[in-house]
Homo-oligomer: A and B are copies of this chain.
Amino acid sequence: MKKITISDVAKHANISKSTVSQYLNERYEYMGEQTKQRIHESIIELGYSPNYLARSLKQKKTFTIGIMVANILHGFSTKVIRAIEDACNEENIHTIVCNTDEDPEKEQKYMEMLQAKQVDGFIVFPAGENAKVYQRMLEQNTPLVFIDRIMSDLKIDTVLMDNERASELAVENFAKHGHEKLAVATPELKPYMTPRLERLSGFKKALQTNNLPVKEDYLISENLDSLQERLQHVFTMEDPPTAMLANNDLTLVEMLEFFKKSNIRLPDDISIIGIDDVPFANVYHPGITTIEQPAFKIGKKAAELLFDQINDTASEPEVYRFAPKLFERESVKTLDE
């Protein structure tokens, strides 16, 4: 089946290409009613469908954006992406999402290929040390917004959760229930991993403002692979914590696995709170108190900021933070005096 083009339609309707083009772009201000009719009929008769590629080439706009994410398998990313896609759908924009696996080279390659495909902009969860790449985009005026990680050297719109507030929420909840020996577990820290860093610093700050002791041994930052060993160590200390914050969902799962294996009972032996939403929070025994990231708000905002940049209606780049929300369930035990 041969591709049929605008010229075929024009010929069929006995009219010129440009008029058909006008019609397609709904610029029928001065167009004859019957011309319109004729075009319309020809289009359906021929089963014409326009070639956006050609249009984009001319208009220098593809109505396509790129999203760079570490891994779509991660729940937070997936939600953010969904929110972005919903926002894009309203504007008839499509999204190409790429998994960088936290590999800066892979990210760079993807971004360059998408640029070659002339995408209108990028929303990226930055994969670490790629500053020069972003810098170049900036210089080329490529619309760009970051999610989740702040790169302080770069003037780029960034949207993320108020991570310090999240830890604070957790600490306050533990404190309210009478806990004083608070621990936190976070995966390995890297300088560009804003959320982990901020959640940890927020935790420490909150300890202080709540006049709670900060014990270095309780501040666990460890590769997920070896987290369980580390926990093993902490929970065989003579004065183990009574409450523990999981800095993200993966950490939570590791913790739970460890507790299960070690026969440490929730919430009697240990109270926990997890940052990040997990699908089983409700059905677990006990239900797990969680602090959710406003993933949809974050995605929506990021999309809006990008659209503003694309449409040249953007203001100065800023960092936008969204409030976390605590869902109290049963995993924090109330301690009596």
Contacts and interface: CB of A to CB of B under 8 A. Distances in A.
Interface string A109-123: 000111111100000
A285 to B, nearest CB: 6
B71 A82 contact: yes
Interface in A233-256: 253, 256
A115 B52 CA distance: 9
A282 B64 CA distance: 40
A78 B282 CA distance: 22
Nearest to A50: B116
A224 interface: no
A92 interface: yes
B82 A73 contact: yes
How many monomers of this protein are in the complex? Answer: 2
A284 interface: yes
B98 A94 contact: yes
Range, interface on chain A: 35 or more
Nearest to A71: B82
Contact of A96 (B64, B256, B279): B64
Nearest to A257: B283
A101 to B, nearest CB: 10
A44 interface: no
Interface stretch (A9-17, A53-61, A156-164, A185-193): A53-61
Interface in A34-86: 49-54, 56-57, 62, 64, 71-73, 78-79, 81-82, 85-86
Contacts of A253: 279-280, 282-283
Interface of A: 1, 49-54, 56-57, 62, 64, 71-73, 78-79, 81-82, 85-86, 92, 94-99, 112-118, 139-141, 253, 256-257, 260, 278-280, 282-285
15 contacts: A49-B112, A53-B117, A53-B118, A57-B57, A72-B78, A82-B99, A85-B99, A86-B99, A94-B114, A94-B117, A96-B96, A256-B283, A257-B283, A260-B283, A279-B280
